[in-house]
Amino acid sequence: ATKKDWWQYAQFYQIYPRSFMDSDGDGIGDLNGITSKLEYLKDLGVTAAWLSPIFTSPMVDFGYDISDFFDIQPEYGTLEDFRALIKRAKELDLKIILDFVPNHSSNESIWFKKSVNRERGYEDYYVWHDGKVNATTGEREPPTNWLQYFRGSAWEWNEVRQQYYLHQFAVQQPDLNYRNPAVVEQMKRVLRYWLKEGVSGFRCDALPPLFEVLPDAEGQYPDEVVSGATEDSEDRNYLTVKYIENQPETIDMVYQWRTVLDDYQRIYGGNSSVLLIETYAPAWFTMQFYGNRTREGAHLPFNFNLITVMEEKGLSAGHVKEAIDLWLNNMPAGRTPNWVLGNHDKRRAASRYGKEYIDAMNMLVMILPGVSVTYQGEELGMTDGEISWEDTVDPWGCNSNPSIYEQYTRDPERTPFQWTSGTNAGFTNGSTTWLPLAADYKTVNVESELAAEESHLKIYKELMALRKSSKTLQNGSTKYWVIGDDLFVVLRTYGDEDKYLLAINFGSKEETVYLPDLADRSLFRLIIKSLGSELTLGVWYGDLHVQPAEALVL
């Protein structure tokens, strides 16, 4: 086997800084809080932590609206605090990855202010348009029917400039204009700036809306076709989105960013840094982000299939197989697969799949080939918080109304991390938290789960350790089957090395698998089992009976 690079064996962990650890009692997580918990990550077995945005921001979208891409949000700390974080991470041999948000800035960015005033060099920094005149009423209208992700029109009238600007997200997040080479270069500067600060790569935010279709000769953009998927004309799903997502230029831009990273390494040496990219697109499009025959792209375009296929079709062995096929059967040869169970935009894994499946899903992503990405709290089986309309702060929720907000808000998956069973779950010494805690923190927390004989956390740590030490899991080949009605089985083999078998029962009745049929009459040993399993660890041969929701690693 050819020698692999660090990221091909890595275990990635997403930190949502606002909710990870608060060091100064204001109820908001911060950099010093993260630094104080790096040993926890090390102990988990994490290779690289990705921090959601920590840059200067009015916090309309909690950091995804950046007003200064080159500085730290004061609530989170200072550049000095960041340097201390990097230093401590290096001591622990942990890598730090930052969020790179290329699609938009905050409307409070100096770039936007200059663009509003048509200052030289900034006139076309954003996507501006005169709009059109309604033939019947004679009134001014937005250029197209395009909708933002967070409900409502994607165009906003600007009084000063007397033009509309495009915002695929909130009104306060104007889209940068990637057809302007100055913008492209500016954003490459952002990458180089943080590489210089010692980060090991980036998670690139929101790739689908990076480019829009080119306007026609008269400067007009096409309307999107109404989809019929929803009758709610504010909801983006009201449209069949074709002109404002996944344009081919986006793929080339990712290749260019890769070049920035590779050039940096060529000039300054050190380890390679990685690009993880957030994209939602059909497989044929997504796979191009990995690169092509002549160019390298993202090291890891996120694989959200275990989220999206299940959301659409429900959790079952067949659908899990479908999600895995969708990635592995489309991935170009020689690339590294990856498996994502959740993030700060999706209901927490334990809530979405069902609490009883959290061990099973953690086993799945760590037994499958490639790398896994954990969202903070998945290792504990953290569940969603219950957030009232009054407490709702996510713009997607706020842009709706009390009767439908739960369908849009992302607050439930962003509640503070649960460290202890004490006051405010040990997240802060202060008396408040920026979002209420999830109700189950007294039992679901690091302290209790470390103290317990068995826990989700302990299972997670065993899996991480296994993944780190096993040549088979790192390099082996993979087979998987649906057996019986709802049993999912994965087998990893690698020459004469130990084989690994994972069996998960997604159904409601006992399932049986005859082990010798699957793996050359091998003798197996049960080494990890989901919480609540009544089997005893040890040698297995012949029939393996798996109970509903039980998950076993042999």
Beta strand 132-133 pairing with 140-141: antiparallel
HSE on the CB side for 192, CA within 13 Å? 14
375 makes contact with ligand ISL (CB under 6 A): no
d(C-alpha 413, C-alpha 410), whole Å: 6
State the residue for tokens 């896994």.
372
Give the count of residues interacting with ligand ISL (CB under 6 A). Answer: 11
Taking CB under 6 A as the binding criterion, the range among 186-194, 283-291, 344-352, 457-465 that sits at the site for ligand ISL is 344-352
3-state helix, strand, coil in the chain (%, to 5): 30, 20, 50
Give me the 175-214 binding string for ligand ISL, x by CB under 6 A, dash otherwise: ------------------------------xx--------
Handedness of CA 181, 183, 186, 190 (dihedral sign): negative
| Smaller CB separation from ligand ISL, 344 or 456 | 344
37 makes contact with ligand ISL (CB under 6 A): no
Per the DSSP assignment, residues forming a β-bridge with 91 are none
With a CB cutoff of 8 Å and minimum separation 6, the contacts of 245 are 208, 209, 281
CA distances from 5 to 216, 271, 274 (A): 45, 9, 10
Least distance in angstroms from the C-beta of 40 to ligand ISL: 24
The closest of 243, 103, 244 to 183, measured between CA atoms, is: 103
Q: At 119, which amino acid appears?
A: E
26 makes contact with ligand ISL (CB under 6 A): no
Retrieve residue 295's tokens.
Answer: 């160019």
| Smaller CB separation from ligand ISL, 170 or 324 | 170
- Among 345, 406, 447, 497, interactor with ligand ISL by CB under 6 A: 345
Q: Which of residues 66-105 bind ligand ISL (CB under 6 A)?
A: 101
| Smaller CB separation from ligand ISL, 175 or 359 | 175
DSSP 116-146: HTT-TTTTTSB-EE--EE-TTT--EE-SS--
Q: Which of residues 203-262 bind ligand ISL (CB under 6 A)?
A: 205-206
Taking CB under 6 A as the binding criterion, the range among 34-42, 127-135, 343-351, 481-489 that sits at the site for ligand ISL is 343-351
Beta strand 274-277 pairing with 300-301: parallel
| Smaller CB separation from ligand ISL, 343 or 445 | 343
d(C-alpha 432, C-alpha 416), whole Å: 11
Contact 307, 340 (CB under 8 A): yes
Least distance in angstroms from the C-beta of 326 to ligand ISL: 18
Least distance in angstroms from the C-beta of 150 to ligand ISL: 8
Give me the 129-158 binding string for ligand ISL, x by CB under 6 A, dash otherwise: --------------------x---------
CA distances from 335 to 109, 253, 258, 291, 301 (A): 37, 19, 15, 9, 10
| Smaller CB separation from ligand ISL, 345 or 462 | 345
- Among 50, 64, 257, 375, interactor with ligand ISL by CB under 6 A: 64
| Smaller CB separation from ligand ISL, 207 or 363 | 207
The closest of 236, 232, 161, 185 to 206, measured between CA atoms, is: 236
278 makes contact with ligand ISL (CB under 6 A): yes
d(C-alpha 418, C-alpha 424), whole Å: 8
Least distance in angstroms from the C-beta of 207 to ligand ISL: 9
346 makes contact with ligand ISL (CB under 6 A): yes
Contact 244, 154 (CB under 8 A): yes
Taking CB under 6 A as the binding criterion, the range among 34-42, 118-126, 213-221, 338-346 that sits at the site for ligand ISL is 338-346
Least distance in angstroms from the C-beta of 346 to ligand ISL: 6
| Smaller CB separation from ligand ISL, 149 or 524 | 149
d(C-alpha 213, C-alpha 408), whole Å: 27
Least distance in angstroms from the C-beta of 330 to ligand ISL: 20
500 makes contact with ligand ISL (CB under 6 A): no
CA distances from 67 to 56, 139, 180, 530 (A): 6, 33, 19, 45
Taking CB under 6 A as the binding criterion, the range among 2-10, 183-191, 220-228, 341-349 that sits at the site for ligand ISL is 341-349
| Smaller CB separation from ligand ISL, 96 or 210 | 210
169 makes contact with ligand ISL (CB under 6 A): yes
| Smaller CB separation from ligand ISL, 149 or 165 | 149
Give me the 43-62 binding string for ligand ISL, x by CB under 6 A, dash otherwise: ------------------x-
Catalytic sites, residue numbers? 205, 278
| Element (DSSP H or E) covering residue 33 | helix 31-36
Least distance in angstroms from the C-beta of 280 to ligand ISL: 6
DSSP three-state, residue 38: helix
Binding footprint of ligand ISL on the chain (CB under 6 A): 61, 64, 101, 149, 169, 205-206, 278, 344-346
